[in-house]
Amino acid sequence: MPIRLRNTLLAALVVAGLTGPAAAPALAQQPGSTAAVTRQQEDGPDTAALDKALRGLPDETTTAALARVGGKGSWHGSSGVRDLRTGRKALEHGRFRAGSTTKVVTAALVLKLASQGRIDLDGTVQHYLPGLLSDAFAPVTVRQLLTFTSGLKSGDDLGPVSGEGYENRFKTLTPEQVVASSVAKGPYRGDGEGPGKKQRYANIDYTVLGLLVEKVTRDSYAHQAWLHVLRPAGMRHTSFPRGADPRIHGPHNRGYQRLDDGRLVDATEWNMSDRWAAGDMISTTADLERLLFALFRGEIVPQPLLEREMFTVPDIDGATMSAGLQRYDAGGGLVLWGKSGARPGYNTLLAGTRDLSRTLVYSLDSTDAKGPAMNPVGERLLTAAFSPSAVPPSASAARRSH
């Protein structure tokens, strides 16, 4: 969940300034490890710390890690194994389930259509999708869906986020079924409830946005995302599953999930139909880095709209999410914007300073991707990339007003 990640990030940065990441075995001693490729520049990333963050894989928490740091200077690296059966080294450019980082693409797509006058952000779900919500619901705007303030309750899914949906991994739950189950629960009621009153992070808002995009464009969500986001950003290795297809097509590292009974199962093939526009994207670290740079530079969503919607958090107590991004206040004037994602076997993050002086993208083949604690490899990468001593000075003063 975003709030958990934010709190862990803050703790990691504070600790990093004092102690740095824990010592780990040398990378060369691990089967299947790949040395990082680095290019050191002035104000560039701490490549030694980043190299160190990837050491020791595979371990109990992570079977493979792929990471990229960009901005002023660059670094990329990988470690671990492609699969546990053969122990072959991990594919640095392998594809993976990107989880809720899909929401960044969905938000950018909706805002792009808004910039073209095809969607009114103040327009309502009741207007665009008549009959979708019952009369029990107050008007819900597109902007409220984007910022998780719709007041809609979560719909059905195919199993707990812990990975215990493993037995249902080849079953199908359509977006329409997910939304119908949400509507059947009715809206949140009580003081301080209702659209625009409270921010609750959930997939349901972006599932409805996917349906809205298809209704407005009379086209599939996947094709519209490719046309308006993936293609402009140069994301040539990013795709969406076709319906109930459970496979990751193209080169990829296998993901593993530890179940509550202790079994470690192969979670690579998994039907993501219940996640759809909220979390079914398949991508690479290089493509997500391209998305980050293209989006922040205003190459997808026009800058005025971008600043107003994606780099502004609603004025609601406790809110940290904008349209598709989360604001991380790391202290000392350092503000990061990003999004995490997790599906069984895979854990993903993209994050950066607003001025793009420092960015981080990673994918971890995590054995507890949806667990309550942050993956230790991810924590080490965050520490190495964004500790106060690692970030160029210009970033700390950038966009403090947001």
Would you say residue 387 lies in a domain?
yes
Provide, rounded to the nearest whole percent, the portion of the chain with pLDDT above 70: 86
CA distances to 64, 232, 261, 325, 370 from 295, in Å: 28, 10, 42, 11, 27
| Number of domains comprising the chain | 1
The arithmetic mean of pLDDT across residues 38-49, rounded, is 73
In the chain, the percentage of residues whose pLDDT exceeds 90 is 79
pLDDT, position 220: 98
Cα separation of 89 and 104, whole Å? 30
Three-class HEC string of 225-255: HHHHHHHHHCCCCCECCCCCCCCCCCCECCC
Query: What's the pLDDT at 42?
Result: 62
The C-alpha atoms of residue 103 and residue 324 are separated, in whole angstroms, by 5
Choice among 18-32, 209-223, 364-378 with the minimum mean pLDDT: 18-32
pLDDT band at 44 (very low <50, low <70, confident <90, very high): confident
pLDDT digit string, tens, across residues 122-167: 999 999 999 999 999 999 999 999 999 999 999 999 887 677 899 9
* Number of residues written out for the chain: 402
Give a yes or no: residue 402 inside a domain.
no
Residue 119 lies in a domain: yes
The CA dihedral of 178, 180, 181, 184, to the nearest 10 degrees, is 160
Under a CB-based contact definition with an 8 Å cutoff, are residues 47 and 70 in contact? Answer: no
pLDDT tens-digit profile of 282-339? 999 999 999 999 999 999 999 999 999 999 999 999 999 999 999 999 888 899 999 9
CATH of the domain at 229: 3.40.710.10
pTM, entire model = 0.90
Res 391: pLDDT: 80
165-206 per-position pLDDT tens digit: 999 999 999 999 999 999 999 999 888 899 999 999 999 999
Domain that holds residue 146: 2-396
- Residue 310 in domain: yes
Distance CA 349, CA 53 (A): 15
Give domain status of residue 401, yes or no: no
d(CA 281, CA 350): 14
More confident residue, 10 or 233: 233
Q: Look over the chain and give the mean of its residue pLDDT values, rounded to a whole number.
A: 88
Tell me the pLDDT tens digit for each residue of 256-279: 999 989 999 999 999 999 999 999
Q: What angle, 0 to 180 degrees and rounded to 10, lies between the N-to-C axes of helices 376-386 and 2-16?
A: 60
